[in-house]
């Protein structure tokens, strides 16, 4: 009886992990009202899809929903004290320049952070190393495209 209980508990836990992992893989859809830099590329304002190109990939794919060419960035993992209440992209703003900094998915306390590009480091120096303004854009989860 005890052995069966452990098996059932283990199967339920695996199912839970699979479901949460699947949700973390869902693409984010976000409308960004300003041009911004992600990695080494400056992108125009518009609606974007942010997703992992495959389950095992560490990179993220950022692509306009109009089918424009996509770009890849390789973020690092970051943690928050609590799960995020909403999916969002966080930008650093220096004057009228925006740099994609973090990507968070609702319900998770782990997110993705992009390393500062040489351009952002230059902007930070020009701002005398003052902390940049943070701009947050709420994103929504969307089912993966076939």
Residue 92 lies in a domain: yes
Are 64 and 47 within 8 A, CB to CB?
yes
Give the contacts of 19 (CB within 8 A, at least 6 positions apart).
Answer: none
Residue 22 resides in a domain? no
* pLDDT tens per residue across span 80-102: 999 999 999 999 999 999 999 99
pTM of the predicted model over 0.95 = no
Q: Does some domain include residue 39?
A: yes
The model's pLDDT over 30-53, given as tens digits with 9 standing for 90+, comes to 999 999 999 999 999 999 999 999
Q: Provide the domain count of the chain.
A: 1
What range defines the domain where residue 120 resides? 27-141
pLDDT level of residue 144 (50, 70, 90 thresholds): low
- CA 141 to CA 129: how far, in whole Å? 35
Asked if residue 3 is part of any domain, the answer here is no
Per-residue pLDDT at 74: 93
Contacts of 8 (CB under 8 A, 6+ apart): none
3-state secondary structure (DSSP) of residue 62:
strand
Arithmetic mean of pLDDT over the chain: 84
Q: What is the mean pLDDT of residues 5-33?
A: 54
Distance CA 91, CA 70 (A): 19
Residues forming a β-bridge with 42: 37
Structural domain includes residue 115: yes
């Amino acid at each position: 009886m005890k052995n069966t209980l452990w098996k059932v508990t283990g199967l339920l836990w695996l199912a839970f992990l699979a479901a949460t992992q699947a949700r973390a893989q869902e693409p984010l859809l976000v409308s960004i009202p300003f041009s911004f830099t992600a990695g080494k590329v400056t992108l125009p304002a518009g609606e974007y899809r942010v997703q992992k190109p495959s389950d095992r990939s560490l990179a993220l794919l950022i692509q306009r929903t109009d089918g424009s060419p996509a770009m890849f960035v390789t973020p690092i993992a970051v943690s928050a004290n609590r799960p995020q209440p909403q999916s969002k992209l966080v930008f650093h703003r220096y004057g009228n320049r925006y740099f994609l900094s973090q990507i968070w998915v609702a319900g998770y306390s782990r997110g993705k952070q992009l390393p500062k590009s040489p351009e952002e480091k230059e902007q930070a120096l020009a701002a005398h190393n003052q902390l940049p303004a943070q701009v947050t854009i709420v994103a929504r989860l969307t089912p993966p495209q076939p």
